Amino acid sequence: MTEVVLGYWAIRGLAEPVRLLLEYLEVPYKQNLYGHPQHPEHDWAKDKEQKRQLTAFPNLPYLEDGNKHITESSAIMIYLTNKCNRGDDLLGATSDEKWMNQQILGVQGDLNSILTSQSYNPDYQKIKNDNLQQKVLPKLKELNDHLGRQKTKFMVKNTPSICDFRLYETLKHAGYHYDKLYDQYGNLQQYINNFESIDAIAKYLKSNKFVERPINSPSYAKFY
């Protein structure tokens, strides 16, 4: 399989679920990291104008595969899934798997928005605990209860779906904000363990390709 190029800021951000998927699918890739002190050659302000020749929607993250230039993280993940002929496996083989995958993505998006918003809020320390009680814990309880009803290793079934790559990253993000967050949510803690036990993911997390922090932009976020 030919090597693809993933372009993004030098943070986890929106690109980390894509990295996890690339590793899971064993797609060879290299990265163009923007805003990284060791890679001054990557200048997004300049590159963005050049990318307009390739797409009407220049943005980060992007994926380049031959003459294809794909932006928007959700589109990138669907493209990679279909490229590897894993649509039924990762997007859903049945109607129930497909709608449940999308349902979990919606919940994940809500939780991710809460965490990202508070990370960039100048009053981060003031709002952090209120957000935990009023917004974060209710979402975690719903997800924990869902796993209890499903009785599966992952959110939709016993093998990962696209939603799991996004949700795992969001749950890890939440865990950085709040200590011992999953002590009261055993199903979610086991879910995280299950994801990190996938051979390709375990290998990635132990490699020098994995960068634990920053999650958000150190230049703008109060929590990164």
For residue 37, the model assigns a pLDDT of 75
Q: Which domain holds residue 46?
A: 4-87
- Claim to verify: residue 139 and residue 192 sit in the same structural domain: yes
- Claim to verify: residue 94 and residue 144 sit in the same structural domain: yes
For residue 31, the model assigns a pLDDT of 97
Alpha-carbon gap, residue 109 to 106, rounded angstroms: 5
- Could you tell me the two tokens for 213? 């922090």
Residue 203 lies in a domain: no
Residue pLDDT, tens place only, 104-154: 999 999 999 999 999 999 999 999 999 999 999 999 999 999 999 999 999
Residue pLDDT, tens place only, 91-105: 999 999 999 999 999
For residue 85, the model assigns a pLDDT of 98
The domain that holds 34 is classified in CATH as 3.40.30.10
Residue pLDDT, tens place only, 64-74: 999 999 999 99
- Decide: residue 84, CB within 10 A, 0-12 exposed, 13-18 middle, 19+ buried: middle
Pairing mode, if any, of strands 4-9 and 62-65?
antiparallel
DSSP per residue over 108-166, as a string?
A: HHHHHHHHHHHHT-TTHHHHHHHHIIIIIHHHHHHHHHHHHHH-SSSSSSSS--HHHHH
DSSP-derived 3-state class of residue 176: helix
- Claim to verify: residue 132 and residue 93 sit in the same structural domain: yes
Residue pLDDT, tens place only, 4-63: 999 999 999 999 999 999 999 999 999 999 988 777 778 898 999 999 999 999 999 999
pTM, to two decimals: 0.95
- Claim to verify: residue 190 and residue 99 sit in the same structural domain: yes
Of 165, 111, 120, nearest to 138 (Cα)?
111
**What are the C-alpha distances in Å from 111 to residues 56, 87, 137, 185?**
30, 25, 10, 16
DSSP-derived 3-state class of residue 63: strand
